[in-house]
Structure 1
Amino acid sequence: MKKSNNSPDITKLSFEEALEQLEEIVSKLEDGSINLEESIAEYTRGVHLKNHCETKLKEATLKVEQITIDKDGKFSTKEFIKNS
């Protein structure tokens, strides 16, 4: 099993990749298969992964909210502008 420290930068992960890593961390923490020091490091990474997933979900929500339907039932979209 590869260590989280060898994983790519969290900001470069897709939502699915980050969620998968987060699930792996939760499993390790729940089954107690790692020592306290590793648990703290994994927990910290898990917090960052969770934040990254939340950001990705917010961005997706904003994109969806940019789709509108006019009074004639026609769909239109507005340009998505990422708030940083």
Structure 2
Amino acid sequence: MAKTAPASVKTPPGVDFEHSLDELEQLVARMEGGELSLDESLASFERGIGLFRHCQQSLQQAELRVRLLLDPDAPDSAEPFEPEL
């Protein structure tokens, strides 16, 4: 049976997002370099799509959290905070 890490040791979501985004940027740079074989390019593209979807999902979850904080009773009608100038 696989052991799971205690909650206190778990990677914070922001760090996971940052790591995924960094890896995605590195993949793009390698692919743009044009020195990968077709198989390496396809594998990199597939990995990149997975990373992109993970980052997109993380951003959507963060947006939902912000909406809930702005208006917990009606998160869909929450308006962004705009500071007074």
Range class of TM-score, shorter chain: 0.5 to 0.7
Instruction: Flag structure 1 segments of 5+ consecutive residues without an equivalent.
Output: 1-12, 70-76, 79-84
Matches within 5 A, 1:47-58: 47-58=49-60
Identity of aligned residues (%): 36
Runs of 4+ in 1 over 2 A off after TM superposition: none
| Greater share of strand | 1
With normalisation by structure 1, the TM-score equals 0.64
Q: Which has the higher contact order (CA 8 A, sep 6+)?
A: 1
Deviation at 1:33, TM superposition (A): 2.3
With normalisation by structure 2, the TM-score equals 0.63
Instruction: Flag structure 2 segments of 5+ consecutive residues without an equivalent.
Output: 1-14, 74-85
| Greater share of helix | 2
Counterparts of 1:16 and 1:57 in 2: how far apart (Å)?
Answer: 11
